Chains A and B, each alone.
Chain A
Amino acid sequence: MSNMNLLQAINNALDIAMGKDNKVVCFGEDVGHFGGVFRATSHLQDKYGKSRCFNTPLTEQGIIGFANGLASGGHKPVAEIQFADYIFPAFDQIVNEAAKFRYRSGDQFSVGGLTIRSPYGGGIHGGLYHSQSPEAYFTGTPGLKVVIPRNPYQAKGLLLASIRDDNPVIFFEPKRLYRASTGEVPEEDYEIELGKAEVVQQGTDITVLGWGAQMEVLEKAVEMAAKDGISCELIDLRTLLPWDVDTVAESVKKTGRLLISHEAPKTGGFAGEIATEIQQKCFLYLESPIERVTGLDTPFPLAHDKEYMPDHLKNYEAIKRSVNF
């Protein structure tokens, strides 16, 4: 075990993946010698050479198109999109190409080796284009997996599993926590299974569900609620597509209440999908309406960053509202 921040854990996962499998290739804007604008790919070029860790021209559709082609030849590209806000030029290559590659060819070709890493989320004074949480644009796309870790231990295990998973995976990294989140991380190789939620804290009164950077916020809200005598069951979804319906439904059947929280705007956000599915699976167990605590239905603002965010106070109030319904 050693103490790592989230970036170091990601760097360590990439190092292990490249060291063990020469089919793994890392690239993106500024990913090469410089090691990435957040330094997630530091030293990988020195260690594995320019042919396996390199800069790309500044073209997101090119990066993912290139990655699709490389993956279709049996390689395992780990492509970086510098900010999740800039993934949209590659939307066509991700949604129409990567996600449908295996299906449309009758499994003659696939881009299963593809992993797309991208920093996401607000709270860093990033304004409109360095703050977005675009996960829900991708959860509506069959063929993709969408994974978001909450801390260094999760990041390493989930990233290693994503790289080795035989499906295209979008791996969103909570950049607000890149250096802020630290913890003990095993130095050896390990994986955390995709598609499985984690019950972070057991509770009996309400299920509180989130992912990524929002988990830290929810931990605070849950602590505040505990002081009021409310027992929250806290769940980290970890994989959004395909998501772990069973773990969430089982929890809600026990607690009778559900709060879902994410930074992305409310309308069309992934909480809507979860709420609908759980309402159908747990109708007779629900004792209050399912709460959604999310970003506003606005672009991500700069000056009102704090007001926009679904912070611990908003979540705390929603927990009480649900329990007192």
Chain B
Amino acid sequence: MSNSKQSEAQVVHAPVFISGDDLETPTLKILRQDGTTYEGAELPEIDQALALKIYDTFLFIRALDERMVAAQRQGRISFYMTEIGEEAADIGSTAALDPEDMIMAQYREQGALAFRGFPLEQFMHQLFSNENDLGKGRQMPIHYGSNELHYMTISSPLATQLPQAAGYAYGLKLEEKQNCVICYFGEGAASEGDFHAAINMAGVYKVPAIYFCRNNGYAISTPSSEQFAGDGIAPRAVAYGLKAIRVDGNDVLAVLKATQEARRLAVEENQPVLIEAMTYRLGAHSTSDDPSGYRSKKEEEKWREKDPVARFKNWLIAQGWWSEEQDAAEMAQKRQNVLDAMKKAETVPSPKVDELITDVYDVPPQHLQDQLDELKAHIRQYPEAYPKTAGRLDDE
């Protein structure tokens, strides 16, 4: 039983080629840089408490990113990735969700996790891969996860979470839960085959999913002009049966508004949505990258003037909900908190060597137990070569 959507509404008798330009994708903007809103702009649902919680998360992420880049430079952690310039995108969108909506992120969305209430100590345990890390010290820094906070553990392979989000959302639909999945990814990851697979399946099965693309202009050194030839990511989704919207990703009110509407479509109508947030990766791709090799300071400066955190601060001050004095004091306090937590976390020991073989399977099979026993015997023979574990072997 074919169910072709092919329409013959418009029949022509000479070739007419459709161009991408025929589809104009508008960009939602609500907030100007000076903190005023555009005339006639529809504001999202936001009260003082929510606004301050969003802004508090902005400041926390700024303080965390700043300190941990420095910590990586000092060799205290092995790796780090900041989200500077993109705070409005992930934090603004997560603020539109129910706390039980699943977040499936790429890696530059620590703000979403912070908004959900992930404790500073847990950020640190993960970054230092110590024995208190929920991930048991197995993954590189910034690969966070929290079952309790409905934040699926990050993995490095790009875009793999996209079809997973479709499957997870299908499960929610089966259970008739009033929840959705938000799935974050960059514009570079959208070139992976998993993007195509995912949004096609999301469209076919009509799952409660929000695909949230952070289009920040670069995938490491590759500018978006070398990533795709079409008009960004949003128009692709329409062709697959999703609804799409493009927003100013540095405008937290626009992101919040778009995501509140998207969530309603996803949860109430099982209509998957793609949100493309236009933003800019102000920092390096990671601590292993130096952007001066592929882009100009001038370009960065232009975007620094569009700083999403400063823009939202201006709005908060205009509401009478915040002041420059409070801002300076709060930022200083956050920096101190991060520093204190970091110093504590780096003294916590690594997980025990026994954790090497747990969770590969539900129960370690015999061959893994044998390999662990051999390893322990070896460590006992050369304890000085394995300082993290030698002193902590179980007595037998």
Contacts and interface: CB of A to CB of B under 8 A. Distances in A.
A242 B102 CA distance: 33
B152 A109 contact: yes
A72 B168 CA distance: 7
Given A97-B155, A107-B358, A167-B361, A61 B194 contact: yes
B368 to A, nearest CB: 8
Contacts of A75: 171, 174
Interface in B125-149: 133-136, 138-139, 143, 145-147
Contacts of A101: 153
A108 B143 contact: no
Contacts of B368: 142
8 contacts: A65-B194, A65-B197, A69-B169, A72-B168, A104-B155, A108-B147, A112-B362, A246-B366
Contacts of A72: 152, 164, 167-168
A62 B163 contact: yes
Interface string B162-201: 1111111111101000000000000000000110111011
A108 B201 contact: no
B360 interface: yes
Given A70-B170, A74-B171, A61 B365 contact: no
A152 interface: no
The 8 closest A-B pairs by CB, nearest first: A65-B163, A69-B167, A62-B197, A69-B164, A105-B153, A73-B171, A66-B167, A70-B167
Contacts of A166: 362
A72 to B, nearest CB: 6
Contact of B366 (A74, A167, A242): A242
Contact of B163 (A61, A77, A100): A61
B293 interface: no
A138 to B, nearest CB: 14
A92 interface: yes
Nearest to A243: B367
Contacts of B160: 65, 92-93, 96-97
A66 B147 CA distance: 19
Interface string B192-227: 011011101100100000000000000000000000
A97 B171 contact: no
Interface size class of A (residues with CB under 8 A): 35 or more
Interface stretch (A51-59, A288-296, A313-321): A51-59
A303 B346 CA distance: 64
Nearest to A167: B361
B201 A66 contact: yes
Interface of B: 102, 104, 133-136, 138-139, 143, 145-147, 152-153, 155, 157, 160, 162-172, 174, 193-194, 196-198, 200-201, 204, 358-362, 365-368
B145 A108 contact: yes
A202 to B, nearest CB: 24
Contact of A105 (B135, B174, B362): B135
A110 B167 CA distance: 14
Contacts of B162: 65
A103 interface: yes
B200 A62 contact: yes
A68 B166 CA distance: 10
A97 B145 contact: no
Given A109-B152, A143-B360, 13 more contacts: A65-B166, A65-B197, A69-B169, A69-B171, A73-B171, A73-B172, A75-B174, A96-B155, A103-B360, A105-B135, A106-B134, A106-B153, A110-B362
A125 interface: no
B138 A106 contact: yes
B145 A105 contact: yes
Contacts of A107: 358-359
A264 B129 CA distance: 41
A25 B166 CA distance: 15
A103 B164 contact: no
Nearest to B143: A104
A176 to B, nearest CB: 30
Contacts of A242: 361, 365-367
A67 interface: yes
A232 to B, nearest CB: 27
A62 B198 CA distance: 6
A69 B359 contact: no
A39 interface: no
Given A59-B197, A61-B163, A143-B360, A66 B153 contact: no
Interface string A172-205: 0000000000000000000000010000000000
* Most chain B CB neighbours (cut-off 10 Å) among A67, A77, A105: A105
Contacts of A92: 157, 160, 194
A245 B194 CA distance: 38
Nearest to B200: A57
Contact of A62 (B134, B135, B201): B201
Given A61-B193, A106-B134, A100 B365 contact: no
